[in-house]
Amino acid sequence: MKEIKVLDHGLVRLVDSMGNDLSVVRAARNSYDAAWRAGDDKSGDEKLLRYLWKNRHTTPFEAATVSFEIKAPVFVFRQWHRHRTQSYNEISARYKELPDLFYVPDIDKIGVQSKDNKQMREFGGQLTEEQEENLRYEQGLYKANCQACFENYHELISRGWPRELARGGLPFATYSNMFATMNLLNALKFIELRSHEHAQYEIRVYAEAMLHLLEDLFPVIIKIFREGQ
């Protein structure tokens, strides 16, 4: 099973798949009852896939399915779960005590709050020594806060608190784990939205990792998808 490491403790792992480029070609050719010509006419297959994608004739792209295992901070999952066309199974913090694992951004990925776009952050190029020193101090504050949350979490559990309540004090940066299953069309829609420069860096790296993993399975479709990006 192929996997790509992202952020400080995250990963994207391809756990299952059904279909390939040809599955989409076959589904499309079924529409007009033509012979499959599977593998006989590769240039014709690519031309058809390009036509389908360009003209948003999308249902054939639903003929393939993929499942990923994702390990990511809870605030990334919060954004991810807005994508209703994926099926999710996430680790239960009611069932299991969570390990002390939380995301700490690298200092060169912190940036500052954008003045033009209320959702985004901006980067001002090379950091000065003073900026770097300040950021290290601030990164330390953030880390100490997360560590204190975990210490209190474990203490509450050891005092008899139920896991389902004690978790309420954990930070958004806590790592969680899930399986996400989707058809190829919805995987590409997710990647399109979440690898865009307006998406948060911490989810963009997951979308880009997914695209890399899909490239081995669907080389022609991903080539066409990249052309349109």
Ligand X SMILES: Cc1cc2nc3c(=O)[nH]c(=O)nc-3n(C[C@H](O)[C@H](O)[C@H](O)COP(=O)(O)OP(=O)(O)OC[C@H]3O[C@@H](n4cnc5c(N)ncnc54)[C@H](O)[C@@H]3O)c2cc1C
State in angstroms the smallest separation of the CB of 73 from ligand X: 17
Residue 29 is a catalytic residue? no
Does 2 help bind ligand X (rule: CB under 6 A)? no
Cα 131 from chain centroid (whole Å):
30
Q: Are 96 and 163 in contact (CB under 8 A)?
A: yes
| Amino acid of residue 51 | Y
Residue 54 binds ligand X (CB under 6 A): no
User: Which residues, numbered 194-223, are part of the site for ligand X (CB under 6 A)?
Assistant: 194, 198-199
Strands, sheet with 10-18, edge to edge from the N-terminal-most edge strand = 3-6, 10-18, 65-73, 175-183, 87-90
Contact code string over 69-98 relative to ligand X, x by CB under 6 A: -------------xxxx-------------
Q: Give which of 28, 11, 1, 14 is closest to 66, Cα–Cα.
A: 14
Tokens encoding 151: 């210490």
What is the nearest approach in angstroms of ligand X to the Cβ of residue 205? 14
Stretch in the footprint of ligand X (CB under 6 A) among 70-78, 123-131, 157-165, 188-196:
188-196
Name the active-site residue from 13, 82, 121, 194.
194
The CB-of-56 to ligand X minimum distance in angstroms stands at 12
Beta-carbon contacts of residue 42 (< 8 Å; ≥ 6 apart): none
Rounded CA-CA distance 35/25 in Å is 11
Query: Which span (19-27, 41-49, 67-75, 189-197) binds ligand X, by CB under 6 A?
Result: 189-197
Beta pairing partners, 160 = none
193 scored as a contact of ligand X (CB under 6 A) = yes
Q: Which residues are catalytic?
A: 194
Interface residues with ligand X (CB under 6 A)?
A: 82-85, 186, 189, 193-194, 198-199
